[in-house]
Each structure stands twice: as C-alpha cells, then as structure tokens.
Amino acid sequence: MKIALAQLNYHTGNFEHNTSKMIEALNKAKSNGVDLIVFSELAVCGYPARDFLEFKDFIELCRENVEKIASHCVDGIAAIVGSPRVNPVVEGKDLFNSAYFLAEGKVKHITDKTLLPNYDVFDEYRYFEPNRQFNVIEYKGSKIALTICEDLWNLNENPLYIQTPMDELIKQNPDFIINIAASPFSKTQIQTRQEVLLNNALKYHLPVLYVNHIGGQTHMIFDGGSCITNAEGKLIAEAKYFEEDILECEMRNGKCDILNNLVISSGVERETEVAELYSKFHNIESALVLGVREYFHKLGFSKAILGLSGGIDSALVLYLASKALGPENVKALLLPSEFSSDHSISDSVALANNLGVSYETISIENTFNALQNTLAPYFKDTPFGLTEENMQSRSRGIILMAMSNKFGYILLNTTNKSELAVGYGTLYGDMCGGLSVIGDLYKTEVFELCKHINRDKEIIPNNILTKEPSAELRPNQKDSDSLPDYEILDKILFLYVEERKGPKEIISAGFDEALVKRILRMVNMNEWKRWQAPPVIRISSKAFGYGRRVPIAGKYLN
C-alpha cells in the first residue's frame, strides 16, 4: 500500500481553503499512484476551533466538507481526515473529535478520539465525548490502527488517563499505526513527541505513521515534523519543520519503504552541545517568525509598526517582524525623551539600516511636557516618580497607536516574559499591541536568541547586546534598580511558571527566601495586567495567556 502523509497549513473556520487544499493534495497523490492519503486532526475545520464548535451551522459545514472530500476518493485512492462530528447518543457531550476513513466516494469508517487533553492550551473535554469503541480499519489487505494525537500519549510512568487505546487495538493484530495530530510547538515538544512515537513503536512492535499540522493559530504554532517510525523504534523519515510537506512511503508486510522526502531527523542524535543549542534557537526563531507571519496573513493584515528603543527586546522584535513580513512592510518609530541616551538612538538607526526597515524619529518631550503641565495643579508638591515614568510610556503608546490607526499598521508588542511575569511594564504604554511576539521568551533567552541571530555577522548592533538593560524613564535608570539580575530572576520564574514549584521548593533549590517570596508575590499581583496584554506567541510548555489560568484576586503568596 502506497501512503502519503500530507502535512498542511489550515485556517480555523475557513472551510473552502481547508477543503480545497486537501482535495488538491489528494488529486496529486492519486496521479502519483497513492492508495491512501492522510491528513491531520480536525483538518476540515482547523485546530483549535474552540467555541465555534458550539454552532450547529459550523458542525454542519464540517459534515458537508467531509462529504465533498469523500467524493474525490475514487479510482483507487482513500483518505483519512480529521473533523468533529455529532454524537448520536443524547447522553454525554454533543460531539466527537473524529478521524474519517473515506473510500469509494463515501465515509467507510469513523474512529473517535479516546483521550481528550484538558490541560495547558488544550480544552477538548469542554466539547468532545471520549470514544469507547475500538476497531481497526481493513484496507487493501492491511489492518490499520487509527489513533488521534493524545491517544498515543499515555505511555509514561504517571499515566494521565485510565485507558490506553492501543492496548485495545493491538488485540485485533493491526499491521501499523496511523496517528493524526494537532501537536503545537514548544521548546521541548519536538524531542518529547519523538520519544512518544518511538516508545509506541517499541511497545507494540509496529510502524507508526504520524501526521501533524503546520502553521499558526493566533498564539499556537504548529511545527509539523510529520514522521515515520519503524517497528524497531527507529525514526526513518521526517517531514520538514515549519513548512508544508508530504511524505510518501510504501507498506509491505508490516515493513515501511520510504519513497520520497527522506529527511532523517537532526534532532534524534546530536553530536555536540553546540549543535543542540543551535537547533534550540533555530527552532525558536523559526517558530516566532512563522507565528508573526501567520497572525498577519490569517487576519488579513500586511503591515507592522513598533517602537524601537535601542534596547534588546525591541531590536529582536524588529528583526523577527522584518523576516516574517518583509522589511518593506515594517515601520520603526524612535520615540526619544530627555532621558534617552545618544547611543539608544544611534543603535536603533544602525539596526533599522541593517534590516532595511524604514523609521521615523518622533520626540515625546512635547507630549510628556503637555501632560505634566495639565496635571501640575493636581500633582503639586509631589515628587517625580513612577507615575511620571508611566506617563512617558503612555505617551509613546498614544503615538504608536495613532500611527497604527492612521496608516493601517498593527502594533507589535515588545515585552519579554520576565517583564510580563513581574509586571515590569505599563498598561496602555509599552504593553500596547495586537500581538506579543516575545512574551514567552525570558530576558536571558532574548539575549541568547540575539547572539544566535548574530552568529555569522552583526545584524543586531553589538552595543545593544552588551549594554545594561534600562527603560530610560529617569536619569541613569537600570532594570537592576528594581529587579534582581535576570540570570537569577529567570531561574526563579521558570521554576514557578513552567515547573509549578511552590516557594518552599524554590527556596530549597538554593535561592534567597526573601527574594523568592518577593518575586512570586510580584507575579501573582500582576495577573490583572496580563489579562489585558495582547495574545502571546507560545513557544514554551507554559506561556502566559490561555494556557495558564490563575485567579486575579487569589490570595496564594500575596
């Protein structure tokens, strides 16, 4: 049996786009003699569809488009495609997350997802009923164990679910496993995902054919990495990352022969620590560039604007935006105040010129002075302080948003994860924006990614990488005036946010007790700010936003 694994980019709710893309791939596969083409989880409607799934019309459109795809499954080709479907039983949730097996112009078999993730960014049990029936698919002399994403993820020392679908399907002696998935990218996901697939192959002594999405859906990035694992638990072929791709193979007596796109993963066996570090930051850069490009493309935007301060965060965002959208579609605004250093301006100009991005310089001094004069009668006899610092940030926000409104730019936010965590930012000022590009990168990671970008030549001026971080809102201000060294801060934040360690555990790891309690209190007390922040492109296992849900008014650690 000749099989094609189609790794495509879908658009949530864009049925015409999704279906035409699959039909085009199907027809090409048919002309190439393919017997079965496999598309990913919920490909018909896009993933995640969220509360669109509560609209009957949306589900009806899913059904109609499955039938449309089925009508092209003739002349010897079959397809597997993911789509929601109505649960015919009154009791339970209204829908199943399903994989349709289409052949001879119609639906021949339906497999429903058993294990429904309900953690981090996943919320599937909100919508779907779990499967309780297990049957292999027989096609062209082979038995196929068809599974959907999480169905293969219950092989660990602390199982999340009480059932493992393959333990049931293996009783029917399948010849190989197909897994259709919507597995989003994170810094550790590629390695974890490969381990899951290899462990399934080893446990059940079967080849595993895996198909994933690529593309961006607001904050979630799908990196692809569709692959084939043989029955001995070896990765034998892998599709491209962050690009559409198709793998073709042939199954013969339980053995898999690769027909095209033989790309053995560079991530499976790395020879040096340097190569591993390169791979990590190469993937992060690719994910962020894809995330920006997809956010603009799928919302119909084309041009971005941002404030370029001379600091490392805005420098990185400008680089990523110019790479994602093209430098001709990006505008930088230099917004100096009386506290801005000369090198902040010169560094910003050098970066913009390096990237070929147009820029304008607009001083905020008049705007800030006007605000001070307006409030002078009310601020009489009070010292210059945080309020005045925030007024400068909000002056910049007003100018950036005005340019955005007038000329059709989307403002990109430049706040990093460290700042977002501890509230080191001004609402309606530097926290403005339609998309948070680096809000899931700690400050130390921002520096490392910039060093990676400069590995071959100086793109980001070296002075930006070496100078001490500062918001430049008062004379001689440094981030270290109010925050611990980022090397320490980020380690504490990582333990609390990603690892969900409490204060006692973090202190026992060797950190100062008073500092830990102060930092954790800052994180909790600033949850209300994060609720008003723009969506954050997710590249970690626990990003701020949809995947981290804590109370605004909770007392824990406050």
- Alpha-carbon gap, residue 509 to 527, rounded angstroms: 25
Assigned token pair, 69: 């795809």
Q: Which residue has the tokens 């390096």?
A: 354
CB atoms within 10 A of CB 485: 11
41 is catalytic: yes
The H-or-E segment that residue 98 falls in is strand 95-103
Going by C-alpha positions, the residue among 180, 290, 238 that lies closest to residue 538 is: 290
Classify residue 144 as left (phi > 0), alpha (psi -120 to 50) or beta. Answer: beta
- Alpha-carbon gap, residue 97 to 161, rounded angstroms: 17
Phi, psi dihedral angles at 347 (to 5 degrees) = -65, -40
CB atoms within 10 A of CB 75: 8
Q: Which residue has the tokens 């105040």?
A: 337
Phi, psi dihedral angles at 414 (to 5 degrees) = -115, 15
Assigned token pair, 179: 């897994």
Angle at 350 between CA 348 and CA 353, to 5 degrees: 110
| Set 2, 41, 280, 445: catalytic member | 41
Give the β-pairing of 106-112 and 95-103: antiparallel
| Set 149, 227, 256, 450: catalytic member | 149
149 is catalytic: yes
- Alpha-carbon gap, residue 180 to 456, rounded angstroms: 38
Going by C-alpha positions, the residue among 483, 493, 487 that lies closest to residue 524 is: 493
Helix, strand, or coil (residue 307)? strand
Radius of gyration of the chain (CA): 26
| Set 2, 21, 113, 443: catalytic member | 113
Residue pair 397/477 in contact by the 8 Å Cβ criterion: no
Residue pair 312/283 in contact by the 8 Å Cβ criterion: no
CA dihedral 193→241→246→234, nearest 10 degrees, is -40
Going by C-alpha positions, the residue among 241, 203, 268, 186 that lies closest to residue 498 is: 186
30 is catalytic: no
Which residues are tagged catalytic? 41, 113, 149
